[in-house]
Structure 1
Amino acid sequence: MIYQRKAYERLLQWKQQQGRTSMLIEGARRVGKSVLAEEFGRREYARCLLIDFSEAPTEVFDLFLHQRHDTNSFFRYLFAFYAFQPVERDTLIIFDEVQFCPQARAFTKQLVKDGRYDYIETGSLVSIQSNVKDILIPSEEESLELNPFDFDEFLWAMNEKPLADLIQDCYRHKKPLPDALHRKAERLFREYMLVGGMPQAIHAYITDNSFMSADQVKRSILRLYRRDIEKYGAIEAKNIAAIFDEIPAQLSRHEKRFRLSSLKKGARYQTYQTAFFWLADARLINPCYRSTDPSIGLGMNMEQSAVKCYMADTGLLITHAFSDGTITADSIYRDILFGKIGLNEGMIVENIVAQQFKASGHKLFYFTKPDEETRKSRIEIDFLLPEPYENAAGHYRISPIEVKSGKRYSTASLDKMKTIYGKHIGTEYVLAPKPFASQGDRVQVPLYMSGIL
């Protein structure tokens, strides 16, 4: 079950630096970190040693605790224990699940300086206090965030790389796909929304051609996440679980901003701030914060307590939404696929766009402006992205983005946004299940192209 990942190219670039840093691959559990690291080691090095700290014996932990003063002795004992023969300057050593041995992560500073071998670490929850306590994070460590499969990677796994390339080419040349291929891309994107981007779920779907098989995998992943919350959430476990369980209900609301009052009357953000951080660090959610000023430097005007809490994987969101049953029937998935069931499609579509933006490296911000008389939102913009604006000599402007789940829609918020904040606004985007089209500064982009923005 080896699928092509975009992160592989990033690892190749790192390897060309010839051992000047270690590489930490971060990501949610079951997102494919270990598989990527092992495949990279197998293909790009003469020898590869994987040390899995989630199951390593005490003797291995003792080496990292007591032999760091002498790298020669450390290597002799380590290689003898694993009966491993390295090739100098052509060996990769993988510290898998490094969060279970923080001392190994700190030790990479000396190992990189030693220069004989290359090092990749993989881990989840690597930033929580218990996993960085009493260690110095090495400055020689780079990091790579591995997200669930984006739509390109899903198409590659489905043997649809020519279609993926055509979608990229059409966006680059600002033209729509031919009708038949547009319909095919839309169908595959809807399948991607339902299956999600977790490698095991995709593999189950491809192997069995069954949404139900993918659903079984996703339920096992959600159970794993719940166990992690109970085991590693410490005193915040109750709050973390409460937020996690509430995500589908919150996203099904029109505004989608997470309302803490649904958890407890009078709840304040300060009480749950650590829980939100834990979920974000575990890569279980993609938080999207309200920016109070739609201008360059969105993070400087971020209202942290006004957050939309998207799930990191949309396929998991759908299974999570139906978690009251032991399994989600294949027929329910197909009804969702063909729009025959009353699930809030806006929730799914907005979540998948957030997922694509996150995979493309964007930080997530939204914007609302209430009417001063009614106090209801007069402007609601789903996402804000800074990007070069052609009509401003390539200088950065803010691109407001509205996400539509249906083919009929209005653009009242975009119209008002341009009128009020014109000098800050660049290209305006409407992401909808319709072909590519543009008129002036406004561009209609099919949902399957959202990852290209």
Structure 2
Amino acid sequence: MEIERDIIKAFKAWKEENGRKPILLKGARQIGKTWAMETFGRECFKYCAKFDFDRQPELKSVFQISKSPQRILKELALYTDVPIIAGKTLIIFDEIQECEEALNSLKYFYEDAPEYHVIAAGSLLGVAVRRRSMTVPVGKVRIMRMYPITFREFLRASDRKTYDFVDDLQGIQHLPEIIFNKLKTEYRRYLVCGGMPEAVISLLGNQGMATVENVLQDILELYELDFAKYAESKDIPRIHALWHSLPAQLAKENRKFVYKVVKPGARSKDYEDALMWLEDAGMIYRIFNITKPGLPLSAYEDISAFKVYACDCGLLRRLAHLPAQVMLDYNANYTEFKGSMAENAILQSLMPMLNGDIPHYWSPDSRAEIEFVLQHEADIIPLEVKAENCVSGRSLSVYNERFHPRLRIRFSFLNLQYNEGLLSCPSPLADWSFKFMDKLQQELR
């Protein structure tokens, strides 16, 4: 089966743009970038010519000889069985981080051959740019970010009727019980498999949990092979230690990242490069604390206090060796980690909607913490995340008393409702939360 990905719509809109720039598609390994580009090529073009710089290293010589797009295309025609025709052929440069000259050529395709449709992708592009001092042709490419399959995309494939009902919601009101129960069931299944396409297809194809677990484990092992292949030798053991400390970091009641959890006596200066490597690879998100919710949020960052989350909740569960059946057992004794999984899944929903921005969190002391704080238009909105139906705790009340936000949001497994500035949003509807925010902001103006 195939999963309908929202990024295909973005590709289609780009195809019709005036002044179109080549796309530079970024994202972690195994999230489906190549599949998305090829699917777009099949659906919207007569021909699709793909050039993979990892599998075809001989392609590099084509870009070392000339900077002229016309000359480059004549050479590339020798490596493909399909014609390269402006407007009819989608040109794909895959694993472009393996060839700096190909990355730089995107500038000349924009300036000298804009009639051609070019999409380039690189799973570890961020790592390569930092390690090799490569330059991205800023202003000459359209950077798009791709993420693991969202719950929105998962639900569309698993239960189209429920998806259509939710997607057509016009107001903020209680969901019918039958819809709400289906949402919660599908969301728990999503938390188990995460958003890696192969794992999702295995789950929805009823191939059994053993297959899902094997798929996730294979991806984790591939990631670790990347440590050895692409990281500096001195950083490999540190990257490995940081990555494997993630479940322990998130299992703490206070989820602030602590270096001594990685290794006794560990210091920030020894591990900063390793953290940045994992960020550049798209494997983690680093969320910084803010001293107060002021505009812009970046001006109030406390760079010494941050939390680290995984790019995918399914990979996090597998990394933690947490069995699927435990996550589905309401009485299971993993209270702290249940909260961590809930937070990671909400962040995973937020990231595709934030256009590359990263939210913050607010924790002035050990007695209060708001999991995520984000700027939406001119408003700063606190987002509290609760696992299941437990919504006790004073953190959101403390924040409200101090800063009086126009809108605050609590994610939990309670039904959808809005009351006096507080939007109670079911966690499965996090992918639609910006739609609710926009509606409420218009009403509050």
State TM-score, norm by structure 1.
0.89
Matched, 1:338 2:291: no
Summarize deviations over 1:324-345 as a string: whole Å, max 9, x none: xxxx7xxx42332132532331
Residues 321-369 of structure 1, C-alpha deviation per residue, up to 9 Å, x if partnerless?
01xxxxx7xxx42332132532331111111111111122252211011
Instruction: Please give the secondary structure, in 2, of the residue aligned with 1:149.
Output: coil
Alignment partner of 2:175: what SS? coil
Letter in 1 for 2:304: S
Deviates more, 1:41-50 or 1:207-216: 207-216
Which residue of 1 is the match for residue 285 of structure 2?
A: 286
Equivalence for 1:38: 38
Give me the whole-angstrom Cα distance separating, in 1, the residues matched to 2:423 and 2:71: 62
Q: Alignment length, in residue pairs?
A: 426
User: Secondary structure at 2:256's aligned position in 1?
Assistant: coil
2:369 counterpart SS class: strand
Give 2:403's aligned amino acid. Y
Question: CA 1:368–1:245 in 2, change beyond 3 Å: closer, same or farther?
Answer: same
Measure the CA separation in 2 of the matches of 1:36 and 1:239.
33
Q: Distance in 2 between matches of 1:75 and 1:364?
A: 42
Counterpart in 2 of 1:103?
101
Letter paired with 1:121: A
Report the equivalent of 2:50.
Answer: 50
2:373 pairs with 1:387: no
Write the mapping of 1:242-391 to structure 2, written as runs, cut at 5 A.
242-322=241-321, 332-343=323-334, 344-361=337-354, 363-370=358-365, 377-387=366-376
Are positions 1:439 and 2:431 aligned together? no
SS at match of 1:405: coil
Structural RMSD (CA): 1.9
Secondary structure at the counterpart of residue 5 of structure 1 = coil
**Pairs within 5 Å for 1:78-117:** 78-112=76-110, 113-117=112-116
Question: Partner of 1:21 in structure 2?
Answer: 21
Secondary structure in 2 aligned to 1:25? strand
More displaced, 83-92 or 140-149?
83-92
Paired residue type of 2:212: A
Q: Structure 2 counterpart of 1:432, which letter?
A: S
Letter in 2 for 1:161: R
What SS does the corresponding residue of 1:339 show, helix, strand or coil?
coil
Instruction: Tell me the secondary structure at the aligned position of residue 55 of structure 1.
Output: coil
Which digits, 9 at most, give the CA deviation of each residue in 1:102-133, with x for residues without a partner? 21010111123223421100112212346653
Tell me the amino acid that sits aligned with residue 246 of structure 1.
Answer: S
Question: What's the offset of the Cα at 1:3?
Answer: 1.7
The runs of 4+ residues in structure 1 deviating greater than 4 Å are: none
Could you say which residue in structure 1 is the equivalent of 2:430? 450
- Structure 1 contact 103–135 (Cα < 8 Å) conserved: no
CA distance in 2, matches of 1:243, 1:303: 21
1:144 alignment counterpart? 144
Q: Which amino acid aligns with 1:357?
A: L
1:393 alignment partner in structure 2: none
Map of 2:395 onto structure 1:
413
Q: Give the match's secondary structure for 1:108.
A: helix
Aligned pair partner of 1:207 in 205, 208, 211: 205
Aligned equivalents of 1:223 and 1:138: distance in 2? 33
Contact 1:106–1:138, Cα closer than 8 Å, also in 2: no
Question: 1:380–1:138: structure 2 CA closer, same or farther, 3 Å change rule?
Answer: closer
| Long gaps (5+) in structure 1 | 323-327, 371-376, 389-395
Aligned partners of 1:102 and 1:131 also within 8 Å: no
Percent of paired sites with the same residue: 27
- 1:266 shift after superposition: 4.0
Do 1:384 and 1:400's aligned partners in 2 also have CA atoms closer than 8 Å?
yes
Task: Normalising by structure 2, report the TM-score.
Answer: 0.91
Checking the alignment, whether the CA contact within 8 Å between 1:346 and 1:404 is kept in structure 2 is yes
- SS of 2:367's partner is strand
In the alignment, structure 2 segments of 5+ residues that lack a partner are 434-445
The 1:19–1:101 alpha-carbon spacing in structure 2 relative to 1, beyond 3 Å, is farther
Shift of 1:386: 2.3
Candidates 365, 378, 403, aligned match of 2:385: 403
In structure 2, what is the Cα distance between the partners aligned to 1:114 and 1:201? 39
Partner Cα separation in structure 2 for residue 90 and residue 420 of structure 1: 58
Which residue of the partner structure matches residue 373 of structure 1? none
Whether the aligned pair in 2 keeps the contact of 1:269 and 1:305 (CA below 8 Å) is no
- Measured against aligned partners, the alpha-carbon deviations of 1:359-384 in whole angstroms (never above 9, x if no partner) come to 222522110112xxxxxx23211111
User: 2: CA distance between counterparts of 1:62 and 1:387?
Assistant: 46
Alignment partners' CA distance in 2, 1:253 and 1:120: 42
CA displacement at 1:31 relative to structure 2? 0.3
CA 1:435 to 1:23, structure 2 compared with 1: closer, same or farther past 3 Å? same
Distance change (3 Å), C-alpha of 1:451 and 1:186: same
Distance 1:369 1:3, change over 3 A: same
Partner of 1:391: none
CA distance in 2: counterparts of 1:136 and 1:349, whole angstroms: 35
Q: Is the CA contact (8 Å cut-off) linking 1:193 and 1:352 kept in structure 2?
A: yes
1:3-48 deviation line (CA, Å, top 9, x unaligned): 2111111111211125631001111110000000011111111211
Alpha-carbon separation, structure 2, partners of 1:185 and 1:404 = 17
